[in-house]
Amino acid sequence: MINHRGSEFVVILKEVLEGLKWSYQTMNDVLIFPASGSGGMETAVVNTLSPGDKVLVANIGNFGDRWVKICRAYGLNVIDLQFEWGKAADPKIVAEKLKEDKNREIKAVLFQQNETSTGVLNDVKALSGVIREHGALIIVDAVSGLLTTDLKTDEWGLDVVVSGSQKAFMIPPGLAMVSMSERAWKAYEKSKCPKFYWDIGIMKGFVDKGQTHTTPPISLYFGLHAAFKLLKDEGLENIFKRHHTLRSMVREGVKALGLKLLAEDEATASTAVTAIVPSSFDPEALRKTMRDEYGMVLAGGQGKMKGKIFRIGHLGYVDKSEILAAIGNLEIVLNKLGHKVELGKGVRAAQQVLLGG
Ligand SMILES: Cc1ncc(COP(=O)(O)O)c(C=O)c1O
């Protein structure tokens, strides 16, 4: 390890922060905390809001529930606007809710770019458009969405955007990144939520000197620094295209096997993860056989979807060959579990995506 208060770290920190601004498409400050994604979410809340503030959560799944829980833990007054799991937040419904708020009591609207528990992308551009008309702060959890599809922090006026190292940045968990617009910094000045470790103003004071507030996980900074070399070589558009292709391979592959997708709408289907609703087999038995016999880990359901779905992740350091293998393995395991599917049918559909249709 290097001295995190020494001259070498100053260079790594500067270059990593530049890489983050590039990923976020922003000129805003982006600060890094040693934390998982939820730490970034908590940072967003405690630095811009105060106990008693009214906030609106456009909630489309388990991580929407997390926004609600964090806000309530700090005594905020939460309107939990729930949408059906598997669907995106409807900007028209959010707009209606905001129109009801004649006295402009709602201080912030919080939502996910990508809801990992259901495999659904929100239309961040449309949502931010209606929220800007109202004037509330726009706080986006982009932990699993950032870099898998476009997110224009500055152009869309996003005030706080949270991301995490373990997703499309392709490195292990442990870094939470949080961007702050000028409006967010103004809100910080007024915010009365208690904070110390998550105080983004203290963090910025250190970062301006080329350091971090507390001891940083230096090895993860090295990893992120290396990841930006790969990501910048590839370019944002190609990164988005890569994720889009993997998503289409998975969706076409599982559809060809007659399986049902939780996110049926192609327009809002996640570029990070695909959730599948089994018909006649137990998703937990499928996951166990995939793991034990084929060394492939699929995710289960979360929250109220626990035991009801399985999910195939296709973000970050994952390749088209691995997706072909996953679909091939899935075909074998489904047959073993007594759910008969034609071998090769899913793989062929995924291959056809690569050949362009
Ligand atoms: C959309 C989303 N938000 C937040 C998180 C943060 O969770 P954690 O604190 O486990 O990193 C995750 C992690 O999977 C996520 O997918």
Q: How far is the CA of 167 from the centre of ligand 1 (A)?
A: 9
Average pLDDT over residues 100-123: 98
Taking the CA of residue 141 as reference, the ligand 1 atom at the shortest distance is 3
Q: What is the pLDDT of residues 299-340, one digit of tens each?
A: 999 999 999 999 999 999 999 999 999 999 999 999 999 999
Taking the CA of residue 142 as reference, the ligand 1 atom at the shortest distance is 1
Measured from CB, residues less than 6 Å from any atom of ligand 1 are 36-38, 63, 112, 114, 116, 141, 143-144, 164
Q: What is the pLDDT of residues 158-191, one digit of tens each?
A: 999 999 999 999 999 999 999 999 999 999 999 9
Contacts of 152 (CB under 8 A, 6+ apart): 25, 125, 158
Predicted confidence at residue 279, as pLDDT, reads 84
Average pLDDT over residues 118-135: 98
Predicted confidence at residue 257, as pLDDT, reads 97
Among 41, 115, 143, which is best to mutate for testing ligand 1, by the most ligand atoms less than 8 A from CB? Answer: 143
Among 63, 147, 151, which is best to mutate for testing ligand 1, by the most ligand atoms less than 8 A from CB? Answer: 63
Please determine, for residue 357, whether its predicted confidence score (pLDDT) is greater than 80: no
Q: What is the pLDDT of residues 194-227, one digit of tens each?
A: 999 999 999 999 999 999 999 999 999 999 999 9
Q: Please, what sign has the CA dihedral across residues 146, 247, 283, 290?
A: negative
CA distance 268 to 297: 25
The helix/strand/coil state of 306 is coil
Nearest CA residue ID for atom 5, ligand 1: 37
Please determine, for residue 8, whether its predicted confidence score (pLDDT) is greater than 90: yes
Q: How far is the CA of 323 from the centre of ligand 1 (A)?
A: 23
Average pLDDT over residues 148-153: 98
Q: What percent of the chain has pLDDT above 70?
A: 100
Strand partners, 58: 81
Q: Are strands 29-34 and 175-180 parallel, antiparallel or unpaired?
A: antiparallel
Predicted confidence at residue 280, as pLDDT, reads 85
How many CB atoms neighbour CB 187 within 10 A?
22
CA distance 45 to 36: 15
Predicted confidence at residue 346, as pLDDT, reads 98
